[in-house]
Structure 1
């Protein structure tokens, strides 16, 4: 860290006019959009009008799956209105991600609220050599996604502390941690709540073509592991050769660094972390031991692991692992005085997810209406046939889909909302071109993550800016965007290259999930 007393020039908002203008446009357009809950009801109304017009025109297609003629149904007809009213509760209750995300969150909430996840992250970013601190913080950013939104609250300030502890700019630590979480949000070496949400939405979309389709929460697991390592490496390289050379990385001389926090763990916390980690390791060994025998009841027919009760119940496995580990940590650290407090922590986790569950209600209705009208079938079949007749290479379609979703992600930063809108069209369309639903989901992960670190429409962008301003009071939207932009662009580009290499080599994306 520089010790010069001569003020160095900073790329303030006045010196970054192009960034400010671009971010201002994004912010104004994004603020004009309604809340995602209302957005889906508006889309449902537009769907009703479209279905009435297409139904009156007797629009239909022949389904490639069974040869049956599929005709658009009018959502605004008496039959459509009766369907919407009579199925509303079932649409919500049977929405694929609903039960899965609630179960996962109950377990993760125990680990997060007892302090286990925060303690593990502190150890993960503090016990590394100074030369590895960038990679450690970046990789921990991908791992932290298991904590969902709490990852930003826990790791972003820890990134600044970790860099300061090894004599590097805490501003750089804030930027690295935030970008690793935001622009790598859908890449994690461990299953996360987002995996369950996306898999459920993809399953619902895939059933437009294949009624029995099922996409597992770990269907992209192998790809996610490789992605997390690649993105951490890219962040390390770009930080070293680009960001670290900026002249504006010193905190304000009067910044109150003592009030920002510490990486220190008390002896009791360290003891609790050791006991919890040992418990987690023992549980993982037990799971492996149960899976090894070919006749294990957790395996599928003929000893198959890809189509097995274990993978179908992976959400419960994740919840149990985090729930028990968090409980052990909490008991040892003195956070939990009795096991009777555990259900309360689970309830707090579900309470935190309440806004998502409310959003799920409107999403579930929209998807049910979309499926009932058969507009998705028509669009998917016609688009697939058009692309097939035009002999458009699949890789070109991938690029177009990636660009489209990346632009939308700048304005609609909720991954579940964006995927709920796009999946019913894109997943069936690509399935009709012989692209598995799991592959389309992997492509979506890149688009859903890349631009997140640079858009002020993300509430976590504002949160990260707040952490940054504790070191630099004059930092603004343009300041943070100028830091994150090189990282976000490099991450998106290399992640895309990884996807195409994965596709070309035909490597499975996850257990029982071929890429082609």
Structure 2
């Protein structure tokens, strides 16, 4: 395989340049600007420094607002004062320990790690795309891309090369298969029919932001689940249609005649792997049936007061339930496939998952401090109240506000491709602001999902863009950034537009976004 450095567009990209010169030039500019940004860990400490200076200036000016929640006057506090310094030092550990996504994501990851490291998730993906006909292969790979998000970043490593293999197996362009798989994962990253680790992260950050207005606010990891299920199906249909009517018409879909495809892999599953997947799915179904039977009685201990399911111990502990279900399928599959041979293998698989999450946990430390400083300074209260008043005074329709927020976050996502980092910066302002104009935090989070996903497939700032380019170069050695961007752009635009329309229709009809999560 010949690997090209980012920015080397190759001959095919050069041929495509007359069609998309502006986009290709923009990709290079985005990459240069993005590379100039510091690591997200240091970015949050820099933002904390800026916040401290801003708090000193605003506190010196005596800036304050009247809180609409309790009618009390809220004044900006100076982070550079003695009290501010004492707060920063004394709460540093507790800020990290009580950061809402912390415990949740660790618990979820331990369960997901067993399913992933045992080989179950990879085998399930291979099985899901290995037996489809040519007419269904696009939809199958696209929908598998949304389901693959349960494996987090591993989804790219597993499914993108499988997309090329699946297309090749039914006589279609493997280049198209790589593009479809990559775009389905990247531009549909936050639309999964199965709860994912990201759901826990986003819900925790949204909860922390919502508590600026409502100290008792809580956003569940399942708060967008209904919307996510519908989104994954709709996006798979969009990818299928755009691929059929736009991308399939391109004349440059053939792989290099001399491409060495021997090391790309295989869709074939061994008898033990196939049997393991079936047994794991049967165990999952059995567990869900048992859980349903336990929940049926109104007096069930897993129900809340008055027999409530929405406000219940089950949903309060949904992260643990999800982790247990993933752990169950991983153990059942591993026992049959031979990847789990003794009880000690299970905690070792969990440990591998935690190691994989180490960079995120380190980033969480910086994010937790920034959010704590933001909350203590009361700048969030001031910005949220003033922005909400400005929105009311402008008379702008809430749909216009939704679109402006979506465009702003989409542009930011091109440079800051870490969803948790971007949401940690945006949520403390946007969530309270929209709460004050009667928009629930779950709705704002659903809007963020679209922005966090749509532009990911076209930005070279994503490390997975470069990885996908590497898989593409296995079939066409001359492919470069411009080549991949020209393939993914029509899909990313169509997915973002249709997903936005789905959100607006969902909001207009008033369908709950998830259990106990009204859209308005």
Shorter-chain TM-score tier: over 0.9
Q: Secondary structure at the match of 1:70?
A: strand
Q: Aligned with 1:76: secondary structure?
A: coil
Q: Indicate yes or no: 2:426 matched with 1:430.
A: no
Q: Conserved in 1, the CA contact under 8 Å of 2:16 and 2:483?
A: no
Matches within 5 A, 1:95-244: 95-244=99-248
**TM-score scaled by length of structure 2:** 0.97
Q: Which residue of 2 aligns with 1:74?
A: 78
Q: Alignment partner for residue 30 of structure 1, among 17, 29, 34? A: 34
1:59 corresponds in structure 2 to 63
Look up the match of 2:5.
Answer: none
Determine if the alignment matches structure 1 residue 515 to structure 2 residue 516.
Answer: no
Which of the residues 29, 39, 55 maps onto 2:43? 39
Superposed counterparts of 1:239-318, under 5 Å: 239-318=243-322
The within-5 A match list for 1:311-330 is 311-330=315-334
- Which residue does 2:488 correspond to in 1? 484
Q: Which residue of 1 aligns with 2:3?
A: none
TM-score by length of 1: 0.97
Residues 105-138 of structure 1 show CA distances to partners (whole Å, capped at 9, x for unaligned) of 0000011011000010011111222211000000
Cα offset for 1:14?
5.2
Kept after mapping to 1: 8 A contact 2:419/2:452 = yes
Deviation at 1:19, TM superposition (A): 2.8
Q: How far 1:12 sits from its partner (Å)?
A: 2.0
Deviation at 1:104, TM superposition (A): 0.4
Q: What residue in structure 2 maps to residue 414 of structure 1?
A: 418
Q: Report what 2:14 is aligned to.
A: 13
Structure 2 CA distance, aligned partners of 1:232 and 1:66? 45
After superposition, the C-alpha distances for 1:181-209 in whole angstroms (9 at most, x for unaligned) are 00000000010000000000000000000
Moved more, 12-21 or 63-72: 12-21
1:370-398 per-position Cα deviation (integer Å, ceiling 9, x unaligned): 00000000000000011111211111100
CA contact (8 A) 2:11 2:478 kept: no
C-alpha distance in structure 2 between counterparts of 1:513 and 1:13, whole Å: 49
**CA deviation string 1:137-175 (max 9, x = no partner):** 000000000110000000000000000010000100000
The answer to whether the Cα contact below 8 Å between 1:51 and 1:375 also exists between their aligned partners in 2 is: yes
Distance, in Å, in 2 between the alignment partners of 1:473 and 1:370 is 48
Cα deviation, 1:227-255, whole Å, max 9, x if unaligned, reads 00000000000000000111111111111
Off by >6 Å, runs of 4+ in structure 1: none
Secondary structure of 2:504's match? helix
Distance in structure 1 (CA, Å) of the matches to 2:154 and 2:13: 29
Tell me, in whole angstroms, the C-alpha distance in 2 between the residues paired with 1:375 and 1:76.
14
Report the equivalent of 1:4.
none
Residue in 1 that maps onto 2:4: none
Q: Secondary structure of 1:61's match? A: strand
Unpaired stretches in structure 2, ≥5 consecutive residues: 1-9
2:385 corresponds to 1:374: no
Tell me the secondary structure at the aligned position of residue 426 of structure 2.
Answer: helix
1:90 pairs, out of 88, 94, 113, with: 94
Residue range with higher mean Cα deviation, 196-205 or 120-129: 120-129
User: What does residue 451 of structure 2 align with?
Assistant: 447
Task: Give 1:419 shift.
Answer: 0.2
Distance 2:460 2:288 in 1: 40
Counterparts of 1:503 and 1:99 in 2: how far apart (Å)? Answer: 31
Separation in structure 2 between the aligned mates of residue 271 and residue 98 of structure 1, nearest angstrom: 36
The structural deviation recorded for 1:28 is: 0.4
- Paired positions, count: 508
1: CA distance, partners of 2:300 / 2:195? 22
Q: Aligned residue for 2:6? A: none
